[in-house]
Amino acid sequence: MKAQHFVVVLLLVSNITLFSVFLDVFVAAASADYTCFERDDLLPFDSKRLKEDLRENFLGQHIASNVIQRAVSSFMTDRNPNKPLVLSFHGTTGTGKNHAAKIIARNVYEKGENSKHVHLFISEHHFPHTEKLHFYSAQLKKQIHESVSRFPRSMFIFDEMDKMQPQLIDAIKPFLDYNACVDGVSFHKAIFLFLSNAGGNIITGVTLDFWRKGINRENIWMDSKELEIKITENIFNEKNSGFSYSSIIDEHLVDHYIPFLPLEMKHVRQCVLVEMAHMRITQNFDLADQVAKAMPYFPKEERVFAVKGCMSIRQKLSLYIN
């Protein structure tokens, strides 16, 4: 009888142990699923949300806003794109290239630019030493490949693209191609953004020509005076730019070369008002006018276009507040 009781107790203990093991496995699996879910912060894409975000927060760039909205919306709603989305932003300092990249990121990912899937490379910061180009190229290839293999909808932002060495640009090239599949990984759903000052003088020149002829800046579009073609030609012929020595341009791997026009005083004024909101300062239109007028403009006599765009607005505003 005692032996029977012993066997029953042993079976009960065994069952409890088995259940405990099963529970541990289940919890571990659930935790893994939760981790994956947490890591996948992709937003359900909404083209109307992107359009509204660009309209409200992307000041004075009607061409860039229009092209970005259409290009990103088309790409994000395509279930089977035949290549990654590759956009190249061009314009002088302070015209909003970085800001546009942030707007795209926050319409693709829940955490926006802070998402683990958004990878920013700044040429002179991340690749400062020419003697290490071979090492940089290998690391860059590895990071892009690993990122997309883990998460196909990864985003890569390359700032100061005009200062990037040709060898590094060519390291990116295989991932941009049509039907790109590198070592068994498809890159069709990845997004590549190139930010550059290259072509800025061409864009400024076209804008000035329109102004001198009395034509509103808002009447400039991508096909105005073959603007996009002029940008690509300028980039291709610029001997100090890594772009000119890379095969990315002549193999047509960039989907759109997007011009960022120089900003006018009215746009700078809007930037001041936005900065006031960010700094939680009561909006003051007279103060906004003061700050906007204190910024440098060109041509020198007419003071039409902002030399630095909306850069240094916070610093200038702080002087007036203090």
Which pLDDT tens digit goes with each residue over 194-214?
999 988 999 999 999 999 999
Max CA pair span of the chain: 110
Whether residues 85 and 199 share a domain: the answer is: yes
- Whether residue 26 is predicted with pLDDT greater than 80 in this model: the reply is no
Whether residues 281 and 230 share a domain: the answer is: no
Q: Is 94 annotated as a binding residue?
A: yes
Q: Dihedral of CA 289/290/292/297: which sign?
A: positive
Our count of domains for the chain comes to 2
Residue 10 lies in a domain: no
Q: Is 173 annotated as a binding residue?
A: no
Say how many CA atoms lie within 13 Å of 273 toward its Cβ: 14
Whether residues 287 and 148 share a domain: the answer is: no
Residue 297's pLDDT is 96
What value does the mean pLDDT take over residues 223-241?
78
Given pLDDT bands bounded at 50, 70 and 90, which one contains residue 117?
A: very high
Q: Is 98 annotated as a binding residue?
A: yes
Whether residues 255 and 113 share a domain: the answer is: yes
- Whether residue 218 is predicted with pLDDT greater than 70 in this model: the reply is yes
pLDDT tens readout for residues 118-127: 999 999 899 9
Q: Is 130 annotated as a binding residue?
A: no
Q: Is 91 annotated as a binding residue?
A: yes
Domain residues for 186? 47-259
Q: Show which of 259, 280, 301 is a domain's final residue.
A: 259
Residue 132 lies in a domain: yes
Whether residues 139 and 280 share a domain: the answer is: no
Whether residues 129 and 178 share a domain: the answer is: yes
Whether residues 251 and 278 share a domain: the answer is: no
Residue 240's pLDDT is 66
Q: Is 93 annotated as a binding residue?
A: yes
